[in-house]
Amino acid sequence: MEYTWASIVAVLVVVAVELLWLRTGIFRKVTFWISYAIILFFQVLVDGWLTKLSAPIVIYNPDENSGIRIPWDIPVEDYLFGFALIVLTILLWERAGGRGDADRDAPAAGSSGRTGTAQKRRR
């Protein structure tokens, strides 16, 4: 059951990285859970098509996973690995600053909108 244990460890490591190291607070954000629900919806559609037992495109070694498949023959381990991959990506994005420099370059509310050299010259 290597795939099963690897997927469980992946989830535990990613959750530990968030709770003990990065501490971005994404698990408390509604936007995270809404985003994850959207991702999960499409994961079920694609993964269900790829792993359906009636005509599988991806075949798993039954000795390497738990054999639990929900819904549409999707191995439960796929959900665990998917969660770990998505959460780690979002955590790293949050840690890196999210949207990049766009938020930092925008003028603050109530400011004149002047930035950079023009502001420096006025001082």
23 against 104, higher pLDDT: 23
| Residues 13 and 7 sit within 8 Å (Cβ to Cβ) | no
| Residues 77 and 4 sit within 8 Å (Cβ to Cβ) | yes
**Amino acid letter at 79?**
Y
Where exactly are the structural domains of the chain? 2-95
Over residues 47-66, mean pLDDT: 91
What confidence tier does 86 reach under pLDDT thresholds 50, 70, 90? very high
Phi, psi of 98 (to 5 degrees): 70, -110
Torsion sign over Cα 62, 64, 68, 69? negative
pLDDT at 87: 97
What confidence tier does 100 reach under pLDDT thresholds 50, 70, 90? low
Runs of H (alpha helix) within the chain: 2-16, 30-51, 76-96, 102-105, 117-122
| Residues 74 and 60 sit within 8 Å (Cβ to Cβ) | no
- In the structure encoding, which two tokens stand for residue 39, read together? 């991702």
What confidence tier does 28 reach under pLDDT thresholds 50, 70, 90? very high
User: Is pLDDT at 34 greater than 90 in this prediction?
Assistant: yes
Instruction: State the burial class of residue 14 (Cβ atoms within 10 Å of its Cβ: 0-12, 13-18, 19+).
Output: buried
Over residues 112-123, mean pLDDT: 50
Over residues 80-98, mean pLDDT: 93
